[in-house]
Structures are given as C-alpha cells and as structure tokens.
Amino acid sequence: MSITSISSDYIDRGIKQKFDQKLIMVGRLGYFSPSECDRIVESAMRLPQKPGLIKGHEDFASGDFRRNRIAWIHRDPEFNWMITRLQEAVELLNDKYYRFDISGFEPIQFSIYDNIGDFYDSHIDINLDCDMMRKISVIVQLSDENDYEGGNLEVFSTDSEYAPAPRQRGSVLAFPSFLVHRVTPITKGKRLSLVAWTVGPNFK
C-alpha cells in the first residue's frame, strides 16, 4: 500500500468525524455577548496600533505575508474582566479536550482587518524566540459575521484542506499552536478579533 493511500484512509475518517471530535479546533460559540464584544472593541480601539508583523521576521516587507493592524492588550482594569473570562473558557476547553500542560497566557493581540485584501497567510504560532512554548492559540470573533466578507479564519484540517472556523460573533475558538492556520483576504467590510496564546513547558 502506498503512502498516499494510507493517508487517504486517515483523511476519510477525518471527514466523518464531528467538529469537536477531531480536536483540530474546539470552542464555545457566542461565549461573549454582542454587548460584551462592543465593550471590548470600544476599549481596544483606543490602544496604540501598529502593523502586524511576523515574529522573528520584523524586517519582512509588510503585506507580503500578512497585512493588518494590531494592538496589544495587557492586564489592566479596563480589560481584566474580559481576560479573566477568556482564560476561564480556555482552561475549561483545555481540561476537557487537549489536556496540555499550561502555566500561563501571553498578552492578548487585538487584530484589525479593515482594508480590502488584509490577510494573514498560512503560519503556525510556535516560535523559537518565545520565552515559553505556545500551546493553544485562541481566537475571539469580535465582529458580526455579516459585517465582512472573506476574512475567514481557517485551520489546516485532517481533511487535507483548510477548514473555515465558525464566524459567530463572540465565539471563542481554540486550536493547538502548532497547527497551520491563516486568515483569508477581506473582500468587504471589517473583521476584528482577539488572539491569545496559552504557554507552558515544552512538549515532551
């Protein structure tokens, strides 16, 4: 049996499994209410913004691999409620599904895709120059799904193709940081998201 047909067998099983059984991505749909999303966006839009760059490749021409703007959210009285709730959700998801050894969270990234063509090409979130190993990447869909077209968060799946993540506003979506993922180009409107990472000791 050739390698190709072995991997096809595996791919077929993947297709028949349900979203949360594959463990490619798990999440809580609509975890933050629309008014909570509004509150997060209102506070986050006041933070200093800069172009999204690639860690370790900050000299990459902006736009070759990623084009959007970001701001960093740290623990502070304005954001503590959101950070606490987000961390609770991620810890529950980790306990239930991945059971990775996690010891903390990095600062949260607020991402803005508001120009036609803004995107983030295929990448993984594990970097050699991070202080601790990133374990789980977490996305919060802050925009109403009807407010933008394109701008899909997609994770490379067992079906040998990219699986689009749910777009429902307020959803918290989590996947292992070593999985390849991307955000497809925005073709209309504006997409806002939060990106968080749990960290912990290296995988063994």
Site of interaction with ligand AKG (CB under 6 A): 109, 111, 120, 125, 139, 153, 181, 183, 193, 195
Beta pairing partners, 33: none
Q: How many residues does the chain have?
A: 204
Taking the complex as a whole, the smallest distance from the CB of residue 8 to ligand AKG amounts, in Å, to 28
Nearest to 102 by CA among 124, 147, 79, 132: 132
Q: Tokens for 4?
A: 């190709």
Q: Which is closer to ligand AKG, CB of 70 or CB of 102?
A: 70
Q: Which amino acid is at 159?
A: D
Sole residue written with tokens 């180009």: 185
Taking the complex as a whole, the smallest distance from the CB of residue 4 to ligand AKG amounts, in Å, to 30
Q: Which is closer to ligand AKG, CB of 11 or CB of 53?
A: 53
Identify whether the C-beta of residue 139 lies closer than 8 Å to the C-beta of residue 26.
no
Taking the complex as a whole, the smallest distance from the CB of residue 27 to ligand AKG amounts, in Å, to 12
Q: Which is closer to ligand AKG, CB of 98 or CB of 110?
A: 110
Taking the complex as a whole, the smallest distance from the CB of residue 137 to ligand AKG amounts, in Å, to 6
Identify whether the C-beta of residue 179 lies closer than 8 Å to the C-beta of residue 22.
no
Q: Which is closer to ligand AKG, CB of 19 or CB of 65?
A: 65
Q: Report how far residue 98's alpha carbon sits from residue 87's, in angstroms, rounded to the nearest whole number.
A: 15
Q: Which is closer to ligand AKG, CB of 11 or CB of 179?
A: 179
Taking the complex as a whole, the smallest distance from the CB of residue 110 to ligand AKG amounts, in Å, to 9
